[in-house]
Amino acid sequence: MSGHSKWHNIQGRKSAQDAKRGKIFQKISREIYVAAKSGGPDPDSNPQLRLMIDKARSANMPKDNIKRALDKASGAGGEDYEEITYEGYGPAGVAILVHALTDNRNRTASAVRGDFNRNGGSLGETGSVSFMFNRKGYIAIAREGLDVDEDQMFEDVIEAGAEDLQSADEVFEIYTDPKAFTDVKAELEKKYDLATAELTMIPTTTVPVPEDKVEQLNRLIERLEDEDDVSEVFTSAEYPED
């Protein structure tokens, strides 16, 4: 792994994301719709849909919202979304991947390019930064109130089929092969409460962000995340410790 705490970066931006909960629900609904439309509405036979429903529950998305997305996908016709990844650099040379679901490629490309240009970044060509990231399953288990030492946790996560364990101050961070993520998650849930569990993109190396660039970088990421068509944003940023 990259040797930095993904949890630190997650917590550093959590409050900004919480303020946009309504928009997050809208985006997850779209992801549920696309997963159900392409692989069927039964999460037991559609692993991608099961992951999206788990994502919705982790975000405290109401059950009615999930049901509406599934009902919509089960109906005839509907929207035709395309998955697109944009790549570029932000302030301080931070690599950025932007995953989008869109029904209008030109509209989304224009919006994403504008966000980069107006906030100290530059949109790159396909392949310009994606090689710097690996697809991984990521699970965090809070250490507070947990009577388990690192040796025991390591034994448990390896037995569950995970690839790696890192210890941060607040959490144990577990990384998995993306194909094994669902099984590892299910095994660990038998013993532990999971603080977060997701499929994500992990940078192979990180870029320390100077204090004077943090605000500008966060503004760029927030603008990208605020776009209706953008589903996920990943970066190689390593934020300074508080």
pLDDT at position 1 = 52
Query: In Å, what is the CA distance from 32 to each residue of 55, 74, 99, 215?
Result: 9, 11, 15, 32
Kindly indicate the confidence band of residue 10, based on its pLDDT and cuts at 50, 70 and 90.
low
User: 148 — phi, psi (to 5°)?
Assistant: -140, 130
Q: By mean pLDDT, which of 13-27, 123-137, 155-169, 184-198 is the weakest?
A: 13-27
Q: Is the pTM of this model over 0.85?
A: no
Is residue 40 helix, strand or coil? coil
Q: Which two tokens stand for residue 91?
A: 């302030």
Q: What is the pLDDT of residues 222-231, one digit of tens each?
A: 999 999 999 9
CA 205 from chain centre, in angstroms, equals 18
Strand partners, 140: 173, 196
